[in-house]
Amino acid sequence: MKKYSSIENKMVDILETGAEPKIINFGSLDELLGSSELIGSSPLLPEFILMVLEDPCRPEECLDDHWKFIEKTLPFCVKGSALAEIVDLIDRANKQSKELFHVYMQIFSKSDSSIVARSAALDGAIRYVICDPQLRFELISNLLTITKNDDKDLIRCTAKIIGVAHANWPEPELFKKLVELAENLEAMDQVAFEIGSCKIQFALNAVDAESVETEFHDSKYWFEQSINADDNRHDAAIYLECVKCLLDFYRGRDINVAEVSSNLKKQVTFLRAWNRTDANPPWLFNNTVQLFYWEMLGHKLSRLNAELLTPSWYEPAMVVEEFLSAVWQSSKSLLMKGAETGLEAFVRPRIEGTVAANIGQAYALKQWLQRNPKHNDFDTVHELAQKIDAVVQENYSGSHTSIQILDPSFPRILNDTNVVKKQLVQQAIKDSQTLSLKNLSVHQVAIIEDCIKFVENHPDYQKEIYRKLYNSILLWTVRFLDSRLEMTQKDEPVIKYLFKQDNGKKPKEEKLQADFNNVMTSIIGGTDIEVMNVAGGRADVLFRLNTERIVTEVKREERDSSFDNLIAEYSAQAADYQNVSGRLGLVLVLDQTTSANGTPHISTLVKPTQLTREGESIPRMLVFIKVPGERLRPSDLTKQAKKKGAEQRRGQKRKAN
């Protein structure tokens, strides 16, 4: 057990009597300064600093000397718990000292300092930087020195500070550092939470709904990762529930109000129980307050969504004043921002389009305006009403944007047509979709469901543009496979390549490629064949939607067509086509090893898989689909069976003789 020095023993004696220590008990401030190193390394340093800070005898001109004592002793502090206490004491003194900030950074940069001490130093530093942003560059440069191989507790603390720094000064290097630290799975809960928070920040800074949706999808993925790493991340659970509400609201999906309300209340209760907000540092307190703002947004969104799905409102005044007005200006009224953010660009089109398309809701809104000209929300609701009028005018003027506004998920079509014609085309598309679903067999549906469930939590699939591409390609590729299993050469001569050739030669994969492309081109626009210079090789069939793409690689296999072998042989190349676009793809394999026993069942011909490359945390998703080749015609199978039966009978006769 360490023996105290005489100056430490004197402090212990004073504290044991219950008296308050005073500088005069130790001679003078100069005498204390002469023992700076001894006092600085003492576990009693917090008591000495508290004594100096509360010295009632200090004249104003001696204030600098009092701070000099703190600046001289603090660099020698080696006990993390002592430093954490000192950070709070200094913060309560409400005095800025750049020298102390540099001391904090010095302690943090020492790799031989304890994890608790380095974490406490970061806490002290961020408090200073928030008050004096000019110091942020030194803080950021120190934060960027942390690597994924550092101690998990240090990474968790640093990630938290990086998140605060990024919220105040969104430097790209800070976000890149968080993504790098996410490779340390032991610290994933905190790092993933901070990445999700950054993604929300990106969403609020975006200017168009599509960009906002992309960022919200990404944030949803990272909050899920945080919860998967630690199911006690109640802060991540609150954000996740709110982001899911936003995404469902944007797409016009039904939201279970009771479930959302229950989940949010439960998570907030846990958060308040496990996090003492009154004991948190100021920067962490602000983060907690933001969580409560988002909780309120989640409640309002779910209630407004339920009202928008009804033909009319039972209590219009409550809907307008409690939900509609609040969500319409959510950044200001709910998140307490000083100006509008990307949130308005995300939620307003749904509100405008839905109310404009619903006579009962539009009428209730206009009646509210007439009855409440002096209401605090009048200007906000009046602005909304003007937007709705504009939507109605666009819809009946033949503008090409009307369908897009009334239903953001519906394709924008036929620029120069009137509303009636648009409605006819909408009906035609719906009828086509209905027939497509009715014509799917049970096994086709099972295959499609399995492949979608396999990717549904992938961040790229959760982006609308990739979801549309993937689902469309998957659906029609399964239909393509089904048709190729059903057809015979007599039905369609073009599929001759799937059957045994009279000359014994096996067709190349180009035959499957051409057949697949011809079918898909007639169904999905933007299909190219033999696109060169994709990942430095060739992409057999490439599907585009705007600037994004998904590639279907076409191969053939003559020896081993087991999925284990196909995945081992072709995954790397197929995944390489995903370097610059969505991490989703398909591999279509012409299986020329098919058994002479007949064609396999469709349920055995499709398998989804994933590949995670070294240095990447998000996997690349692939669906392997085998198209049986080298098939025998049904009549040939009968002949073969008869021949085999005759041979068996002859063999049995020889044995009998």
The ranges assigned to domains in the chain are 310-395, 410-439, 454-632
Q: How far apart are CA 244 and CA 254, in angstroms?
A: 11
Q: What is the DSSP string of 26-37?
A: GS-HHHHHHTHH
Query: Average pLDDT for residues 218-247, to the nearest whole number?
Result: 93
Residue pointed to by tokens 């974490």: 119
CA angle 299–305–311, rounded 5-degree value: 140
Give the model's confidence band at 426: pLDDT under 50 very low, under 70 low, under 90 confident, else very high.
Answer: low
Q: What is the DSSP string of 557-606?
A: ESS---HHHHHHHHHHHHHHTTSSS-SEEEEEEEE----TT-PPPGGGSE
- β-bridge partners, 552: 541, 586
Report the DSSP pairing between strands 537-545 and 527-534. Answer: antiparallel
Q: Is 544 helix (H, G, I), strand (E, B) or coil?
A: strand
Average pLDDT value over all residues in the chain: 83
**DSSP assignment letter at 206:** -
pLDDT, position 54: 83
* pLDDT at residue 288 is higher than 50: yes
pLDDT, position 550: 87
What phi and psi values does residue 624 have, to the nearest 5 degrees?
-90, 130
By CB atoms closer than 10 A (0-12, 13-18, 19+), residue 634 is: exposed
Long-range contacts of 573-580 (CB under 8 A, 24+ apart): 573/537, 574/622, 575/611, 575/613, 575/620, 575/622, 576/535, 576/536, 576/537, 577/534, 577/535, 577/539, 577/551, 577/553, 578/551, 578/620, 579/535
What is the Cα gyration radius of the chain?
34
pLDDT tens, residue by residue, 581-639: 889 999 999 999 866 667 889 999 999 999 988 888 889 999 999 999 888 766 555 55
Residue pointed to by tokens 């389009």: 353
pLDDT, position 415: 35
pLDDT tens, residue by residue, 431-486: 666 676 667 888 999 999 999 999 999 999 988 888 888 998 999 899 999 988 88
Q: What percent of the chain has pLDDT over 70?
A: 82
Q: Residue 651: which residues within 8 A CB-CB, separation 6 or more?
A: none
> 18-22, 56-60, 221-225, 312-316: lowest mean pLDDT where?
56-60
- Residue 120 corresponds to which amino acid? A
pLDDT tens, residue by residue, 348-372: 988 988 888 888 888 888 889 999 9
* pLDDT at residue 414 is higher than 80: no
